[in-house]
Homo-oligomer: A and B are copies of this chain.
């Protein structure tokens, strides 16, 4: 057994105790829970375990924490995590108390254990193990831990901007430890992610609803107007977005890393079944659609009477919530302008209004081939296997590292695929928690060797 594995084993009850303490401090960002207690616990932990210099950073919302640990070279690597969690949700749907850490069937159950407390604690403990065994770190490490990830990281960009020339000035590489590993329980190196532009369209066709008999053919249903407007944004036959310049920046040709796609695992039957779909495309098409093509999704549509049976009403207001996943270099400002252009007449007349519901650019890391290989080797050494994912289909705000801090970013999630984050019975397997500690140790050990 390697020395770090032995050390982890010998001190595991202490490690587990730290995880327990962290999870049991409620830190639901949307409830303004015990956020101060939580960040204080983290501050003490960074100071005591890693001898870090800790700075609490005020934001317009909940504070962030920066921890700096000096190493023996000039390299500086930033690790990102968050200390806030989603709400516990319906207690009855949990098999254990969401705010007690419970070990059951080799999994730790508790709100936030997977997203992101277990992953963050594994990083701290991996680096702690390194320091215990080797005295000092081979390079400088900084942590940025925010408290509003579950609010959509609404102040992260501003925070990173404000620290760009100060605490984070020396950073040359960002490592994000969040998300889930793949369905085969293989750890992954994630090089990019899709972005998100979410917006709501509200149509209004009068000051009040009317009876569909008394006003039918005089007043237009706001839901009819909504469908008419949607047709200006999307070609429902060709399944193509009609917003001007929408597709500008979508990867083409060699920008699509087919070699990495080919190396990804794919179990058509398992994925179809999990998605509840009769069929899904074949492997290469499947991954290209998820990683290199933008989406136009209606996440919600609502207007008029939606109860049982029929109420013969002409609704005066209706709305639709659309989310577009963005890829490559698609630009939200260009798309937003295109949207406003195509609906200019309706906006002008007051028939349509638009609310932005989310804007996170896609992120593609500029990680060099050799650095990708290094990360892959580190993970393989620590866990036995590794998969390189060129793009994550979902969205994380990694653009703050590439666009604001202007450094490459890599995402290395530690939590199991079925962590059930944001849902009842959130969990992290004991194996993945320990693997996370090992990866963190190995990152420090090998990154700049």
Contact = CB atoms under 8 A, between A and B. Distances in A.
Given A207-B277, A276-B316, 10 more contacts: A200-B310, A212-B295, A214-B290, A224-B296, A224-B298, A226-B301, A298-B315, A300-B315, A301-B318, A312-B323
Given A208-B276, A231-B231, A310-B357, A302 B299 contact: no
14 contacts: A194-B213, A194-B216, A208-B276, A212-B295, A212-B325, A213-B325, A217-B325, A218-B280, A223-B320, A227-B230, A228-B237, A231-B231, A300-B313, A302-B303
A230 B298 CA distance: 15
Contact of A276 (B210, B230, B286, B311): B210
A219 B214 CA distance: 40
Nearest to A198: B310
A239 to B, nearest CB: 8
Contacts of A300: 223, 303-306, 311, 313, 315
Nearest to A291: B217
B301 A217 contact: no
A281 interface: yes
A297 B321 contact: no
A217 B298 contact: no
A170 interface: no
A314 interface: yes
A26 B264 CA distance: 69
A227 B227 contact: yes
The 5 lowest CB-CB distance pairs between A and B, nearest first, are A213-B394, A207-B276, A216-B295, A223-B298, A300-B304
Contacts of A214: 290, 393-394
A215 interface: yes
A206 B275 CA distance: 8
Contacts of A210: 275-276
Interface residues on A, range: 35 or more
A219 B216 CA distance: 36
Nearest to A311: B299
A123 interface: no
A277 B194 CA distance: 43
A395 interface: yes
A213 to B, nearest CB: 3
A370 B200 CA distance: 58
Contacts of A196: 213, 312
Given A281-B218, A393-B213, A299 B275 contact: no
A271 to B, nearest CB: 8
A217 to B, nearest CB: 4
Contacts of A135: none
A356 to B, nearest CB: 10
Contacts of A9: none
Contacts of A323: 212, 310, 312
A71 interface: no
A230 B231 CA distance: 11
A289 interface: yes
Given A218-B281, A295-B212, A312-B196, A223 B393 contact: no
Contacts of A402: none
A253 interface: no
